[in-house]
């Protein structure tokens, strides 16, 4: 199977993001360690610099899942289906990190691992939506029908993201979460490590996504070669 131009450049980009991720992680770690300690929450507040960036990366993954699904429905090219599936896997990974770091932050701040806060509940729903997406893909036979169904499901699942983001407003302010972090809502000295966390999460997401896309491409090549080998074997027997 000849490689398309995007397939040829993906391994190079994957190596480049590995280097960028190493540099970002070092700078991110330094900035978080030296960030000021919150006067009310204490040092546990620093999990903000991981929790929120992971949420942003999860949103990005699910957005790309919908875009990949839309492109598949339009072009009917398998590479867009592989892209959507890869983005969903990486997005679900970061969403799982959100669900892990959130309770740790909550326990240290509010004394409880879990609360049925609207945003927490919708985040769990978002994770389950995309976990179901991945499970349905694994339990359904391949082909255009599976890809079309997955594309529609991935696009529909995207509707949960604005519900999650605006959950605090929808709850009428009755939420254990702080308001959405915008503008100058961060304390003094917190903006730079927060921005570094966002950048590091995006680079980490890109690195994992590129690697997963390349693995999916290689698996597709192996499956095609196995199918060709079986066809030749069947022809020889005949």
* Token couple for 208: 């994992």
Domains of the chain in start order, with CATH, are: 9-225 (1.20.120)
Task: Tell me what the mean pLDDT of segment 57-74 comes to.
Answer: 96
Distance from C-alpha of 107 to C-alpha of 194, rounded to nearest angstrom = 21
Find residue 91's DSSP bridge partners: none
CB 142 within 8 A of CB 83: no
pLDDT at 174 over 70: no
Distance from C-alpha of 138 to C-alpha of 149, rounded to nearest angstrom = 13
pLDDT at 184 (0 to 100): 47
Looking at per-residue confidence, does 118 or 1 come out higher?
118
Four-residue CA torsion sign, 115, 118, 121, 127: negative
Minimal CA–CA distance to 123: which of 148, 94, 88? Answer: 94
pLDDT at 183 (0 to 100): 42
- Angle at 81 (CA atoms; ends 78, 86), nearest 5 degrees: 125
pLDDT at 187 over 80: no
CB 142 within 8 A of CB 150: no
Distance from C-alpha of 94 to C-alpha of 61, rounded to nearest angstrom = 8
């Amino acid at each position: 199977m000849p490689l398309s131009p995007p397939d040829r450049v993906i391994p190079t980009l994957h190596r480049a993001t590995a280097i960028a991720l190493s540099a970002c992680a070092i700078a991110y770690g330094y900035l978080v360690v030296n960030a000021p300690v919150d006067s009310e929450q204490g040092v546990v507040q620093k999990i903000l610099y991981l929790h929120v960036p992971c949420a942003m990366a999860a949103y990005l993954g699910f957005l790309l899942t919908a875009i990949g699904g839309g492109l598949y429905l339009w072009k009917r090219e398998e590479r867009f289906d592989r892209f959507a599936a890869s983005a969903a896997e990486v997005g679900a990974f970061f969403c799982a990190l959100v669900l892990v770091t959130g309770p740790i932050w909550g326990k240290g701040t509010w004394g409880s691992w879990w609360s049925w806060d609207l945003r927490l509940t919708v985040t769990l729903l978002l994770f389950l939506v995309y976990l179901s997406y991945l499970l349905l893909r694994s339990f359904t036979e391949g082909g255009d029908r599976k890809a079309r169904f997955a594309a529609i499901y991935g696009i529909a699942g995207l509707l949960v993201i604005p519900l999650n983001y605006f959950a605090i407003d929808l709850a009428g302010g009755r939420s254990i979460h702080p308001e959405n972090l915008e503008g100058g809502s961060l304390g003094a000295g917190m903006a730079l490590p927060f921005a570094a966390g966002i950048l590091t999460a995006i680079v980490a997401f890109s690195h994992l996504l590129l690697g997963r896309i390349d693995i999916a491409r290689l698996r597709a090549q192996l499956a095609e070669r196995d199918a060709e080998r079986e066809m030749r074997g069947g022809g020889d027997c005949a």
